[in-house]
Structure 1
């Protein structure tokens, strides 16, 4: 029987967008097998992982196999090839081993090469060395948006036909929620009656500083409290500001928010704002749209594909543009039917099972 090996190094890492993509995709491939949509008599999947995993997947059909003794890049580059030589290797998180030719690679973006000031010198040098060589060697590259495909082709110098776009999905839990769930999340986090929501991140490209400046310059009658979800401390976020002054203006830091609470948090906000300078896909605004939220996001990179026609699009480099966009969103409330319609449009387009089906079709061509 033919083997498809999945590089499971992502199970050793903190869960961010890239790791979440890998986890959801593997879970959906397992679900396809359970529904009989994968011919398990012709080939099988195996997760190959180092021994230091900290996240577990509870799968029915795809086994997890611990291999090697090393960790991190050393495990990936030196030991993983030894155990994947007799099958097709699938790498879901931007990188894979240079020693393996028979592999399919998902590259989410090439920011580590394009924007060295955002990622650090060592990270930039390693990816600038690895990614162009790896992109030439692998049999197929998957990516998550047309924007990322264009950047991969230009930056890594690979032919366009070698790169296929397969959009991310969103979890089924992201949908308009009932009044009971909304009230529960309001009480749990002591939320104000009306507020503007964003997800906090210290990554410079996420542009949290620009959002705060835009919020501060909003007309007083529209400047609802700004609620920042995410495990960030006040001094991390607002080192440039007088913290007490900002809090007096109506800022609230929620700290860590569980995945279970996110749908209700999106749905109860007056507006969700997410204005990064650039994104390979941009999952948060898509999730918020699926929950029926009014969304303000950037008019750049992948958000033009994922959110156009449903969100208010603004220039993330223009503070006034962000401020005006938030005011516009606050002035246009959605009815329940409009929220349900918006959610349905998003979930039809971005579905993990559909993503898994497309990836499976690609893998079957290269087994």
Structure 2
């Protein structure tokens, strides 16, 4: 029996990513569950290496390290200090990586894209992740992932055996707690219901180029494509893509601004060639925004029959499907209803319960 289940809080204070957001939601939802499962007997702690502000957890103790430890590089802290300081604990790593020197771990690996989409990552990034995945998959007691698709991919690429991997789907109900900020609609001169939202990402597997081609077609010339995220118009043009005049770049947006954009969009377009989960489509569905997606990766598993699917290599299909969602009122209303039902299946409480049960099984009394 472990005295403490310790969350690896290395990600607090780092640049916010989708992986980090998932970790925060899982920790918060687990905190809410702990009081209901006090019979488990273990204490829960969040170990962080710096003085950044963290949410006020009720049942998870926040352990802050000394100033000397805080000056350690994040990788050195995770790989050397953390396993030594928590050597008697079971460590939960929620952001793909974890300490190789600690066997008693559960590590959440979101996807196998460093193997399946290598062109989307730098060589050094791929080598580092593959090196760590090789040992994590063999040394850590439990591997968690976010979809059956990712589970199959991790097995296929030899990261871990199937019997060692537990699937914990993400939740999406956090978006319902965010008050929308509609300021971006005015800033970008958007008409509610007459624009399509998508990620601004130049990674090849995100496949945003197909949307640029679709929005250059006559069928969509009167519709605006809004791309949110870090990539700019110049980012795409520098890669040889032609950006049509009806594309607008929102840049980085706050969570309330993103909720405002999703809630008012005519559709969310998600043409990825592979996804370990695909949280934005579910977030959009929860907010009543129809989704057109590529039938690849975990997207069919996550979106089910609530989305329309378009060939990720055919811009004509994307223009046709998006036009249908925007103009066919009956289809639109049906998709909104189906989307809300589908999104309702994915809650953070359910995710935390599945994670809690898996850790309990791996840390028997």
1:1-367 pair list within 5 angstroms:
2-33=3-34, 36-39=35-38, 42-51=41-50, 54=52, 56-67=54-65, 68-69=69-70, 70-174=72-176, 186-187=185-186, 189-193=188-192, 194-219=194-219, 223-239=222-238, 240=240, 246-247=244-245, 250-333=246-329, 338=334, 341-367=337-363
- CA displacement 1:262-285 (0-9 Å, x = unmatched): 223112111211111111000111
Q: Deviations over 1:58-108 (max 9, x none)?
A: 322212213334222211111110122111111111111111111111110
Deviation, 1:175, is: 8.7
Mapped contact 1:277–1:317 kept (Cα < 8 A): no
Contact 1:7-1:89 within 8 A present in 2 as well = yes
Measure, in 2, the Cα distance between the counterparts of 1:175 and 1:273.
23
CA 1:38–1:176: 2 relative to 1, 3 Å: closer
Query: Distance in 1 between the 2:145 and 2:84 partners?
Result: 26
TM-score relative to the length of structure 1 = 0.88
Aligned 8 A contact 1:174 1:288 in 2: no
Provide the rounded CA distance (Å) in 2 between the counterparts of 1:230 and 1:259: 12
> Is the Cα–Cα contact under 8 Å of residues 170 and 347 in structure 2 kept in the other structure?
yes
Find the aligned partners of 1:335 and 1:117 in 2 and give their Cα distance: 37
Displacement of 1:121 in angstroms is 0.8
Structure 2 residue matching 1:39: 3-state secondary structure: helix
CA distance change for structure 1 residues 54 and 316 in 2, over 3 Å: closer, same or farther? farther
Q: Is the Cα–Cα contact under 8 Å of residues 196 and 273 in structure 1 kept in the other structure? A: yes
Please report the RMSD computed on the Cα atoms of aligned residues, expressed in angstroms: 2.6
Please list every run of 5 or more consecutive structure 1 residues that lacks an aligned counterpart in the other structure: none
What is the CA distance between 1:213 and its match in structure 2? 1.1
State the distance in 2 between where 1:340 and 1:213 align.
26
- Structure 1 stretch 134-143 or stretch 193-202: which is displaced more? 193-202
Count of paired positions: 356
- Residues 340/39 of structure 1: CA separation in 2 closer, same or farther (3 Å cut): farther
- Identify the range of structure 1 (11-20 vs 338-347) with the bigger mean alpha-carbon deviation: 338-347
> Residue by residue, what CA displacement relative to the aligned partner does 1:99-132 show, whole Å, maximum 9, x if unpaired?
1111111110111233332111111111222212
3-state DSSP class of the match of 1:300?
A: coil
Report the secondary structure of 1:10's partner residue.
coil
Q: Structure 2 stretches of 5 or more lacking a match?
A: none
Give me the whole-angstrom Cα distance separating, in 1, the residues matched to 2:61 and 2:177. 31
CA distance 1:152–1:255, change in 2 (3 Å): same
Contact 2:100 2:136 in 1 (8 A): yes
